[in-house]
Amino acid sequence: MPNAQEVGRRLKEVRKEQGMTLKQVAVGSGMSPTHISEIERGKTSPTVGALHKIAGALGKETAYFVEDKPLPKVSVVKKEDREDVFLPGMGDTFINAKALTQGIPAGRISVSLVEQDSGGEMKLERHEGEEALIMLHGEAVATVGSEEYNVRNGDCLHYSGRLDCTIRFTGSGKNKALWVKVLPGAIRW
């Protein structure tokens, strides 16, 4: 977690980018301009509650100000720079995939490219949020809750992350799909 000076620097940067005065942030957060100024200058550490109020006044997620390292506002992952990720398979197995996203401040979306032979199976963990599987090539059978869905080239399966889900790749040769996970919380641009 960043120190008080870094949190303050990030707050001030966002405030300035949005053309807001200390008084405007104070009105939006219900805090005094003096206290916000002290936080911005790193003279005091904000409580979680105070940081949440200030972030709300600035239209940002609280996490933006406390992520370990500042992330870029725009993330580009070049094809040759894609990192390997391991998605949960059945039992002790994993599905190999490539990460297509690296993250932005308070980011909620991760996208992976899955390339899997027929018979490979993903067992996805429940979570708050949403998921989607877009078949680029091949076929899959997805069991979401107690229902089974056939997903073919060009199809998109979109469902609540609160449901149990397994995906079994059934197309011959290499099956290729995009797997998208969206975590809860408002996405604020």
Question: pLDDT digit string (tens) for 147-184?
Answer: 999 999 999 999 999 999 999 999 998 999 999 998 77
Angle at 175 between CA 144 and CA 104, to 5 degrees: 70
Output the pLDDT for position 189. 41
Extract the tokens encoding 91.
Answer: 């039992």
Output the pLDDT for position 70. 65
CB 66 within 8 Å of CB 51: yes
Output the pLDDT for position 55. 87
- The residue among 166, 87, 163, 162 whose CA lies nearest residue 128 is 162
**How many angstroms separate the CA atoms of 80 and 75, rounded?**
15
**How many angstroms separate the CA atoms of 120 and 84, rounded?**
17
Mean pLDDT of 83-89: 81
Tell me where in the chain the CATH 2.60.120.10 domain(s) lie.
79-182
CB 105 within 8 Å of CB 116: no
Asked whether the predicted pLDDT for residue 26 surpasses 50, the reply is yes
**How many angstroms separate the CA atoms of 106 and 94, rounded?**
27
SS3 of residue 179 by DSSP:
strand
Output the pLDDT for position 63. 74
Which residue type occupies 64? Y
CATH classification of 79-182 is 2.60.120.10, yes or no? Answer: yes
Question: pLDDT digit string (tens) for 89-143?
Answer: 777 777 888 889 887 766 778 899 999 999 889 888 888 889 999 999 999 999 9
Tell me where in the chain the CATH 1.10.260.40 domain(s) lie.
4-66
The pLDDT confidence band at residue 77, using thresholds 50, 70 and 90, is confident
Asked whether the predicted pLDDT for residue 72 surpasses 90, the reply is no
Output the pLDDT for position 169. 95
Whether the pTM exceeds 0.75: the reply is no
Asked whether the predicted pLDDT for residue 34 surpasses 80, the reply is yes
Asked whether the predicted pLDDT for residue 187 surpasses 60, the reply is no
Output the pLDDT for position 186. 47
Question: What CATH number is given for 4-66 in this structure?
Answer: 1.10.260.40
Question: pLDDT digit string (tens) for 39-63?
Answer: 999 898 888 888 889 988 988 877 7
Mean pLDDT of 82-88: 82
